[in-house]
């Protein structure tokens, strides 16, 4: 299956999300974050498992349906494995359901569950894999329009190079509400 074919469902979901958000702009938001990768699994024999080289980054946009739930689409780059014997690189697209739990004025905990499609690249070859994703983080609202987010995202790839590697990243970034 080609890269384009595997990404079509995620692109369609992101386009649908954009249409819904355009119709109700008050719940739409977008953001970006930088992070540090965490390769706890070697990818196609590259990397020793643990650590990574970065930076990792992600850009996201979503629609907050109510104070406790949002749908979010994202583009991510999970940096590289530590180059002890060669380096692997992972990037892709994802869609998440985000749960939001206010814990104090201006503070909330966030948890996300989602799916992703990624391209994994190593010196000896490339592969594509779907992934299950989970995330946990905290958000501080500076005001109604701008917030600071910090969290950890974990990806469990289901069929990369005939293995099921796990890759994560710790992120810190800004979110803007429209």
DSSP 70-105: EEEEEEEEEEE---SS---EEEEEEEEEEEEEEEET
DSSP 8-class letter at 43:
B
The number of beta carbons lying within 10 Å of the beta carbon of residue 97 is 15
Asked whether the beta carbons of 166 and 145 are under 8 A apart, the reply is no
Say if residue 66 is exposed, middle or buried (CB neighbours under 10 Å; 0-12, 13-18, 19+).
Answer: exposed
The pLDDT assigned to 42 comes to 81
The pLDDT assigned to 130 comes to 94
Could you state, in chain order, the average pLDDT of each consecutive group of 10 residues for the chain (178 residues)? 52 54 70 92 75 87 95 94 78 96 96 95 89 97 96 93 88 96
The pLDDT assigned to 110 comes to 97
The number of beta carbons lying within 10 Å of the beta carbon of residue 100 is 16
Q: How many CA atoms lie within 13 A of 24 on its CB side?
A: 9
Q: Is 18 helix (H, G, I), strand (E, B) or coil?
A: helix
What distance in Å separates the CA atoms of residue 166 and residue 10, rounded to the nearest whole number? 20
Look up residue 148 and give its two tokens: 């600071």
The pLDDT assigned to 52 comes to 78
Per CATH, domain 3-177 is 3.40.50.2300: no
């Amino acid at each position: 299956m080609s890269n384009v074919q595997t990404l079509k469902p995620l692109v369609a979901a992101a386009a649908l999300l954009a249409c819904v958000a355009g119709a109700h702009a008050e719940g739409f938001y977008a953001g970006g974050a930088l992070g540090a990768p965490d390769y706890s699994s070697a990818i196609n024999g590259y990397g020793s498992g643990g650590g990574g080289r970065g930076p990792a980054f992600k850009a996201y946009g979503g629609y907050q349906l109510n104070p406790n739930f949002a749908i979010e689409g994202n583009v991510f780059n999970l940096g590289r494995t530590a180059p002890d014997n060669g380096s692997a690189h992972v990037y892709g697209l994802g869609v998440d359901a985000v749960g939001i739990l206010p814990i104090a004025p201006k503070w909330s905990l966030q948890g996300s569950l989602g799916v992703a499609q990624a391209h994994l690249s190593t010196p000896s070859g490339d592969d594509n894999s779907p992934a299950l994703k989970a995330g946990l983080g905290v958000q501080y609202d500076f005001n109604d329009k701008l917030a600071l987010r910090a969290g950890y995202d974990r990806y469990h790839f289901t069929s990369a190079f005939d293995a099921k590697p796990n890759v994560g990243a710790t992120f810190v970034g800004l979110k803007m509400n429209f």
